[in-house]
Amino acid sequence: MTVTPAVSGTAHTTLDDRLEGVYEAIVRRNPAQPEFHQALREVFETVGPVVAKHPEYVEAKLLERICEPERQIIFRVPWTDDRGEVHVNRGFRVEFNSALGPYKGGLRFHPSVDLGIIKFLGFEQLFKNALTGMPIGGGKGGSDFDPKGRSDAEIMRFCQALMTELQRHIGEYTDVPAGDIGVGERELGYLFGQYKRITNRYESGVLTGKGLAWGGARVRREATGYGCVYFVERMLEARDMSLEGRDVVVSGSGNVAIYAIEKVGQLGGRVIACSDSTGFVHEPTGIDVELLKQVKEVERLRMSDYAERRGSGARFVDGSGLWEIPCEVALPCATQNELDGDAAAALVRNGVIAVGEGANMPCTRDAVRTFREAGTAFGPGKAANAGGVATSALEMQQNASRDSWTFEHTEERLLEIMTDIHDACFETADQYGAPGDYVTGANVAGFTRVADAMLALGLI
């Protein structure tokens, strides 16, 4: 499987008339949700040929139905801080689509969370989950709660308050949340503890990303970052290249970033920079991933603290500029729209050959266009970061059978799944006349799986 790295001409910028009308109507009906519109637009720009080939999709108003979540839940989350002061946050769970299985997707705690953010994430999740080939539908949730600077006791009380309402909407066969930004093993523990208390059920399959001692699965913690690097390795292989000896820049320093950095090292590459929301560390000899885990996961400190501990070889730079560091592979693993057109142009100018979206929609539309026109191997998030949710589905499988797999076996399954996703995207792009264009491949393959299941289930 080899491809010439040229996808120019496939970077669609206009919508078919038929789709334009549907898109405009959805935007009018969902005002002030720019991230949701952006995610919709990207899918609409690539599924035109599928819709043209399937009149039954048009007749059944599949697009209109897929873009309307099955259920959108918004609720009050009152909690008290350590001084006894009362706070009121907003909780969300958007149950987007259950044609392929129970709603599945993470919970995000970040002050920027609003309905539009959760809807964009839920919409992406739906197609991502379909691409995994596992029996999971799409959903997403979270809160505008800001965990930064909060004590452990405050985090626990907030999680308990959120779950007091969320518990009535979720369940092993209904909706299975997991982590995302600001939600990791600690938060999932408090959430699971409260669910268990209220329901009086040890229902392991209601959440994924759990700790190993209480129903979790090996490799879930590593899965998104590892999976993203496997996906990039497959894209490089399709061009007769590999990660070996390559300089890589990663954004973020959270769950996805840390394990992407670890896997790049295992495959012979070198991560020379990573970041947090305040700035980045540039370390030309390579980020020390064990120290990074200690600083970020154990001590919950900042990248500036990492640089201080590393000494003179590592330089902390306040603010932006991460993507100006010359590298051959870029892995945006922090948040949406963190890499814009100018950053993409700088990366292309400096000779980037592959980009894998570890985060959800980290590249702006301009950035994606720049990469596609330059012929950069570009792995969109719904394909490249699907390893996390795929391993969540493996966790559900282990919970259902009360089994616990080894690290090696689980990682092998992850590798197979990422390879299958790569191949499905690659082959679909080929079939639709856009060789090497993983954006078209991922959107068309994901959309078709959801659309066919919805058709089979009647008017849902």
Residues annotated as part of the active site: 140
Does residue 276 touch ligand NDP according to CB under 6 A? yes
Does residue 277 touch ligand NDP according to CB under 6 A? yes
Does residue 179 touch ligand NDP according to CB under 6 A? yes
DSSP 223-246: HHHHHHHHHHHHHHHTTT--STT-
Token pair of 181, please? 């930004």
Q: What is the signed CA dihedral for 197, 203, 204, 210, rounded to 10 degrees? A: -30
Q: Which of residues 126-165 bind ligand 2IT (CB under 6 A)?
A: 128
From residue 348 to residue 387, what is the string marking binding to ligand 2IT with x (rule CB under 6 A)? ------------x---------------------------
Does residue 451 touch ligand 2IT according to CB under 6 A? no
| Continuous segment of H or E residues that includes residue 303 | helix 303-310
Does residue 181 touch ligand NDP according to CB under 6 A? yes
Does residue 106 touch ligand 2IT according to CB under 6 A? yes
Which residue is associated with the tokens 């007091």? 164
Q: Which of residues 93-132 bind ligand NDP (CB under 6 A)?
A: 106
Angle, helices 115-132/387-400, rounded to nearest 10 degrees:
70
Please answer whether residues 425 and 444 qualify as being in contact, where contact means their C-beta atoms are separated by less than 8 angstroms: no
Q: Which of residues 279-338 bind ligand NDP (CB under 6 A)?
A: 333-335, 338
d(CA 278, CA 185) in angstroms, rounded, equals 24
DSSP code of residue 165? H
CA torsion sign, 23 to 138 to 252 to 318?
positive
Does residue 437 touch ligand NDP according to CB under 6 A? no
Does residue 222 touch ligand 2IT according to CB under 6 A? no
Q: Which of residues 218-257 bind ligand NDP (CB under 6 A)?
A: 224, 252-257
Closest approach of ligand 2IT to the CB of residue 89, in Å: 19
Strand order in the sheet with 329-332: 315-318, 279-282, 270-276, 247-251, 329-332, 354-356, 377-379
Does residue 216 touch ligand 2IT according to CB under 6 A? no
| Residues in CB range of 207: below 8 A, 6 or more apart | 170, 176, 177, 178, 188, 191, 192, 195
From residue 125 to residue 164, what is the string marking binding to ligand NDP with x (rule CB under 6 A)? ----------------------------------------
Which residue ranges make up the site for ligand 2IT (CB under 6 A)? 104-106, 125, 128, 178, 180, 208, 360, 388-389, 392
Which residue ranges make up the site for ligand NDP (CB under 6 A)? 106, 179-182, 224, 252-257, 276-278, 333-335, 338, 358-360, 385, 388
